[in-house]
């Protein structure tokens, strides 16, 4: 994968908004909340130009049933990928554009391990 750190880009917020709406449409009622996390979520911070998204869901096991729809959006479905209780999706291959880290609502420990500026205390 090519990693390039760039100046903050005001378009990152819009890219998150657009992609999160597509994910909301797929996950439907299983979705509780969705957050823009990582360095692209912090205004003014230099970052890799990869939008990190963290959906919070009711039942993590049900997310596997959405793999075909996520593939339709261009994502690779990677399962847990080394973190039990997570579902990980990535988009863009060697020029990755998005990463999705899905957690079940009661998995507070792993949610807090992901860099995030927007998770409310209630999650």
Residue 119 placed within a domain: no
- Domain range spanning residue 86? 5-113
Query: Looking at the 3D structure of the chain, how many domains does it have?
Result: 1
Residue 123 placed within a domain: no
DSSP E strands: which ranges in 11-97? 31-37, 47-48, 51-57, 75-77, 86-91
Looking at residue 103, which CATH number applies to its domain?
3.30.460.10
Residue 114 banded pLDDT, cuts 50, 70, 90: low
> What is the pTM (predicted TM-score) of this model?
0.90
pLDDT in tens, 3-32: 789 999 999 999 999 999 999 999 999 999
Beta-strand relationship, 51-57 and 31-37: antiparallel
Residue 118 placed within a domain: no
pLDDT in tens, 49-60: 999 999 999 999
């Amino acid at each position: 994968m090519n990693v390039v750190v760039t100046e903050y880009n005001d378009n990152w917020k819009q890219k998150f908004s657009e992609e999160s709406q597509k994910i909301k449409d797929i996950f439907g009622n299983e979705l509780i909340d969705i957050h823009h996390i990582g360095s692209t979520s912090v205004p003014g911070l230099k970052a890799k130009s990869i939008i990190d998204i963290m959906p919070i869901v009711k039942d993590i096991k049900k997310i596997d049933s959405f793999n075909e729809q996520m593939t339709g959006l261009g994502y690779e479905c990677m399962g847990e990928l080394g973190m039990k209780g997570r579902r990980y999706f990535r988009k863009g291959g060697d020029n990755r554009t998005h990463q999705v880290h899905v957690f079940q609502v009661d998995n507070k420990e792993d949610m807090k391990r992901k860099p995030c500026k927007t998770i409310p205390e209630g999650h």
